[in-house]
Each structure stands twice: as structure tokens, then as C-alpha cells.
Structure 1
């Protein structure tokens, strides 16, 4: 489970929930041949049938609420989850979950057709939390319950240790994680392994991000996925998309193993977490089903473990946009909604490109066919031997935004079916975005609405003077006197020195032809607060208005 970045030490006794799972058969200490189970290929997770699997689920604090587990797993399945991360204890901080208990948890996951992610919680905050234990102790635990897990590789994922480092000496995370992976492989575990980030899971030091490639390469089976926990550190869209996007671009498997809708260390941007993971086909596991304490009871999805009393957070993650109900697909190893179908859709047609601008383009392609029905399409950028996800949708067209001016793009499309199978790639199409210089079809009005000592409020109106709608935009300007944006609405800001970039919010993304949208912000200033005079929209200069 996760802890606060700044306040980590104060909440270590907090009951935060996580769900992880393992499964039975075979003597501990024996080396086994690779069993049919989950596999990582090209940065994606595939189940034992060969179908891509995207986790959509929750954490459940089994080790503290063992009597609640049977009903909890049934309830989260009924609400649409395909995965549950189960909190276990090695016995170092809490009551040990032995091999019999682990086998029972796995059996219940299978009975509910849930994929079980099993984690050891006693490592939480090691190096900063005095009671926490090392990853080495977690590996000792896994070896002691190996008999419950062998043969269950198709249904379980082994999450070595929860948030295995606090905020001190995080550089040791890399070597410790490699050693733990090596010991598990030497002991005969062929499961997909999951590793948590340091910094109480939030990796604000970027230790996991910057060392993920070498950790992945250290796994002799190349079957490790990375888990980031997103709480107050991830309170803006830019932070979320940048962190996850770097893994996607590098072809490394990443999921959000814990997150909430708020936290005492900051207001989490759960909407971006949900929408971006869906667009990029990345897994997420929300924290947590029920039973939180220590001041974070607001993280309970079900009040008192009652599925009929979902909290605001519970309603959001299960029933909201890009939530579990809308996006979860049962693992194909259980039937996957396609009756066990393992036949991929036919390849989509080669995309046709139109409407190329300095920052976007429109694509369309011929539909795929499939026996159980095509459920969606994924557009990727192809560069050499790598692919980068651009967008996903359910129709045979897509609008690309946020592209770089004067840049060549080669794009292709994949199709997905209801069972989670993915087609072969379509043919590729290449286009080059325009230069983005000169005056575009936009006008910007900037007005200081109020001003006080050291602070001010401003309103910005963006008008589309063209004949076609703008779908997705980035507005840029520079301050002349060292002003700083402190808060913005209608868009998400980033600032580097004097330059400000404002990216549309979902509700301001479209500017109709001849129409306008408005954003506002609060800022700080010292001495002089001159109005910016030059603006660009998607790289093109805008007239004053």
C-alpha cells in the first residue's frame, strides 16, 4: 500500500489496502521449467492464451481482513473488476499468511474469474519505517509459500514487495530489486513478477523510471512489470502522462498499482490516470476496497465493505468515465467475454491521412472483421523497430493532436476484439506536419481581471477564426517580468522560466469554427506585471483580439 511522501513516517500503521495473489502445487526449492502463464512481450502483458491483458481492478487488504475476503472478491467481480491485488504479510509486521491461506486466496480468485496479484506488505517504506523489512525477507517469504503458487502462473502475478523503500537511500532500490528477481528465478518461480517503486511507491526521485530498463534486462525470463503508486505527487496531467509515457515509449511494461481520488499529501488527478491508462492500454488497480484507517478512510470504495454503499471514490472508479465497468475485460484464460476465443481480428486497412496541420492530422481506415466483434482500434507511431501509442477508440477514424511541427510521422493501426485478442498491424502511412510558423486562424485576448500586492488574476479568451473546429490545443506565451502561474482552470499549465504552456482540459478541448473558449488563472508578480503580447496555438501565431 502507499504512504505519504512528506508524511510517510506518521501513517505507517495506517491500514491501506492492496490485493495480490499466488497459487498452489509443487515443492518449494525445486527448479521448474517455464509454465504456461502470463508473459511480457513488447512492453505489454499477455495471458496464457496469448491474449493481451489489461488490469482493471482494486486492492483488498486481506491480511487485516481475512474474514472479509470471500465476499470482497465476489463483490468486486460483480462490479466489473478483472483483477484484485491482495495484501499479504510475511509475518514480520503483521500476522503471517501461510501457504494454505495463500492457496485459498488463489482458489477464490479463480472461482470469481479474477487475476490475482499477490504482494508482501511488510516491506513498506524500508529504510525510513523502522519496522519494515527488506526485499530479501520478502523473497524468503515467497519461497516459503512456493507450494501454494506453483502451477498457478496463468492466474497469478507475484508482486515482490509493497513500496520497498521510503525516501532515504533510494539508490539501493535498483540493486535490491535485481537481486530479488534473480533469487526468485533461481528458486524456480516462472510467474510474471511485479516490482513497486521506491519513495513509498511514488518514485518522485525517478529511481525506478531511470533504472527500469536495466532491471527488466536482469530478469532471465524478461517477465517483469513495473508498478507506480500515484497519490499526491501525481496531481497534474503533465506529471502523469510524462511518467507513464516514458515507459510506453521505451517499450517497458508499466501499470498504476495504487491510486486514489485524493490524499492528504495532495489532490490526485484521478481523471487523467483513468483516461490516459485507457488510451495507452495500461493497467490500473485502485486503493482500496474497504477498511482504511488512520485518517485515510476516504480511500474506501465501499463503506463498511458494503457494495451497495459505494463512496464518491467507489462510484468514480467503478462507474465513471474510463472506470472499471466501462473498460474492464475478463482475462481470456477464463473465457474473456469471447467464449475462449483466441482468434485475432483481421488487420485494419492502411490509414488514410487528411487535414495535416502543424500539430495534428485526421486518420481513417477500413474496418477489421472478427467472429466475436471488434471492440476498438489502437493507433501507433512506428519509428524503426519501436512503436509508440498515439490514441485509441472504437471507430474507424481518429484525430491526432499534440504533434510536433515540421516532423515526419509514420502511423499504423491495430484492432482489438471482445476476447482481448489483437490483430496484426495495418499497413503504414507517412505524413509530415506543417512548419507552424506565421499567423494561424486564432486570436487571443488576455485581460488582468484583478491584481493585488504580489498576486493577480487573469482571463484568457481563445477565438477560432478559421472554418474548421480545433480539436485539442496547446496555448503558449511568455511573461516579460518573471510572473508565475500558480493556479489555472480550463487548462493544465506547465511553466519553464518565462514560457507558459496551457493544455486544454477535456471540457475545453474543442473550439468550434468561429467560436471561442476561455481559461483563467491566478499568478504571482513582483514590480511589473506587463500583459503578454504574443501567443501561439498549436505552434501557429495568433492575432490579438
Structure 2
């Protein structure tokens, strides 16, 4: 049985309101064809975000009879899926976990109960994201779920969200979401949310609880509903902003063409994320730095099972991570097709299936991956949880670039060629990193391919990316030209450290930066004789005016003060102007 798709929900909105609602940003004209020569610059010292363990996620639904099949854990882990959301979109607001039933009589497949789901998630090495039933449930039912999951069974479920798209409960005219409360206002949701938070955290104070927001710029953002004095987001956060751990948005961008779809990650995500960050800062008070962003549903509304979505998926995931989301969860692992009105896109059949894997009679064999799966899998070649996303800029709108600095000092670059007709010859340049002269390892996913290929090809400064192809270039830094001595004086919860850098090369260094990752949860609070920035465990220190020059054999020293709670373990690797350093 299929979920009600976002496009269907928006059609219902339009029919209910009998007006054109602002449910999408006006699409720009497709970009003009670009020259096949593209320049990409990578700044390995400019940190954007640390890759979260939950950064790449997917949805599973209790009406899916294949959600816990024996091949699913391998498919999840093979694509780097670190988060799996359950029990399935709008079903969550009618789902009662203790009986594994849906209140409205919706189909629930065998072997989809919570324990079966947890068996699959744990086998895949992923983390669950659980949607508690707000629409027809109670705080007590949700608290009992936390009790069972984390106390009785010891599953350690960290992330819980209260309801699905609750604003679709009739408050603004559209009624796709179950809500049996007498009032459907944002005020009612926020006040009830506080009861859920209180009841659930009384059972396990360590859990993280998320609140449902409307996506900024999309319906019904900006509309003031009956019983409220402000729109949904401002109302909910003004009441509950200081009590929640993360906020939730969904993104399904409409598109007028393949080119329009492929431009959406860069066109929409920074603005949406900026608005969400502003709301958090406005209402979460001193807790604002700790409030995360979860995109618990995302997909395209067109070209879902064909080459464009294979390019869109990794661009969507990575752009959201770069803009502060700790998870983006694709809708869905399986969704299904009506098997009618099928079209051909770029030589492949589009089954109008929102799933990453085939699951309908008209499609390829069960669990055959669609392009979005392979595009997502390419992220595993770019980086791993704990690695650092760094700045990468492309000279062409037809080529997206993302870069990662790994914990060992390697730098990897993903190049996504959105041009359906022309190969891109890419010239790469680097700051804060000096690649070795050897031939890099290159992974490629090509249009309509059924696997990812690898080869030693090109160079660190020149790569060729086929039309509608994705390439990941993996590079090592040049050999060591420095030595680092790391010393510290620590006490319970605090530490003062000093870092001495010695230039072991034969030439003077004029300007430097030193990167490393703390192995524990150390957080720098003060520093001297360097400029220091930190994102998660990743730290970058740069020279100040008086210690920029280091003669051959010479040294500089800088220091810091920091806090820690669980571990202050020493960094295991350092890189100096992009080169790996010896330690000690």
C-alpha cells in the first residue's frame, strides 16, 4: 500500500482551498548550457560541518511488507544509511505501537512491528528516528514507547519526533493528517507537545525530542490559523522553543524541468536553513546552539526513478548537511507504483515511485536499486561520519562540488555533472591542502548504470566527469613536512593544551594552518598565538601576524583552553598546510 505522496497532499490542499497556495518557490528558467570546461576550488581549511552519523537517512513504513526482508540491512549499510525513520509518514499519527495497528484501519503488513524494525536497524548499524503518535495518541502512550524501547529492551533510541505533518490536520483547510484533538491550532499542538516532552523525558532524560515546523517558504508558512495570533512556526516555537532538542522540516521541491530540479539544492536549501536557524535563535534562548535541524522527509516530485534523481539525491543530502541538518531522511526505502502513466526519462522508465528500491509488479525485481540509491551510495566514497565537510565552489551552475577533509588528512571531492549532453573537464585548485602527485582513486556513477565503478585516473588537478555522471576523487596529502608535539594539562572537565609545530622541510613557511580532530568531546573556549575555529570535533588553527613565518628547522607554539565531559583523548593525526605531520 502506498503512502499519500506530497504531490497528492498538495493537490488536496488546492482543492480544499480553491486557490493557488504558495507551496513552492517560483521556478527559475533552466540554466543555459555551459562550456564543458569548469573550475572547482576547494578550501580544505574552511569547515562547513562535521558529517553526522545520522546525516544520511531513509524512511520505512509499517505498510511495507518488505521493510524487514533479509537483504535490507545490507542495502541500508551499503548506502551509508545512518538513520531510519519509523513507522511511516502520515501513518504515524494513527499508529499505535503496542498493537501494531493503524487507527483508521490502514493496512499494516506482517513483521513490521517495532521489535522487527529494530532488528533491521541494528543489523544495519543505523539509528532509529521514531515518530510518536500525536494525532490520535497520548503523551502516556509515547512515554510507554520510550519505556519499552530504552528501559525494557535497552535499544537506546535517541531521536523522537512528536507527530508527522501536523499542520495538515485541517487547521489551514487541508486534512491529510489524522488529528483527533478538539482544537487543531498551532497553540494546541505546542501546549500538547510540552506534555509529551515532560512524560517522555521523565522516562529517559537523555532522549532528543523534535517539533514539527512548516517548511519556510512553502505552504502553509506565513498563514495565521484560527485560534492563533501568529503563523504555525512562530506560534509553536514561542511556546515550546526552550523545551525542544530539534526542529523538523520536509522538502519535496516541485520542478518544471530536469535542469530546474537539479538546481534546487543550491537554490532552496540555504534559504530554508537560514530561516530555520533564525527561528531557533529567536525562540530557543540559551539553548539555541543545541537545537538541531532534522529533514525527516525529502525527495523530488518528478523523475523519481531515473537519472536526474540519482544526481539530485547526493546533492540534496550534502547541501543539507553543509547547512546544519543532522539528518535528511529520504522518502522512502520502498513506496510503490500505481504502474500506470509510466514515462521514459533519459532512456529509462520512470515508475513514479518515491522509493529508493523497486517494490511493484511493473518494476524490476524486488529491491533492485533505483538511481537515487546509487547516487546516495556515492556519499560513502566521499566521507564518513566524523569527517569534515569543507568549502568547494564551482564556476558552473551545471556542476555541483562537495569536498571532505578526512580525519587522516586526505581530501575527497565529489563532482556532479548536471549537463545531460556534455562531458565536463574540471580543473581543481586547493587551499589548505597540497595533494600528492600520484594518480588519485576515482569512483564514478554514470547515467543509467547499475553499479559504481572505480579506477586510478586523471590527476588531483584535472578530472573528466561524463554527462549526467557523478565522480568522487580521493586524494592523499603530500609527504610529511612538519612535526607536531601536543602537550596538555588536564583536570576533570577542563584542559590547557599547547601545540608545537616544527618545520621539517628545507624551505621557509610563510603562513600556516594546522588541522586536527579531537578524539573525544573536547571544546576549545580560549586560545592564544593562533586563530582557532572548531566545528564538532574538527579544529583548524592558523597563524597570527607574528608567527606566520617558520624557518627550516624552526618552530612555533600556540595554546588553548578547553572543556570536556566524557573524553579528552589526544588527536591521532595533524595536517599542516594540507600535508600530514609526524607526531612527537
TM-score of the pair, normalised by structure 2: 0.43
Q: Which has the higher contact order (CA 8 A, sep 6+)?
A: 2
TM, length-normalised to structure 1? 0.46
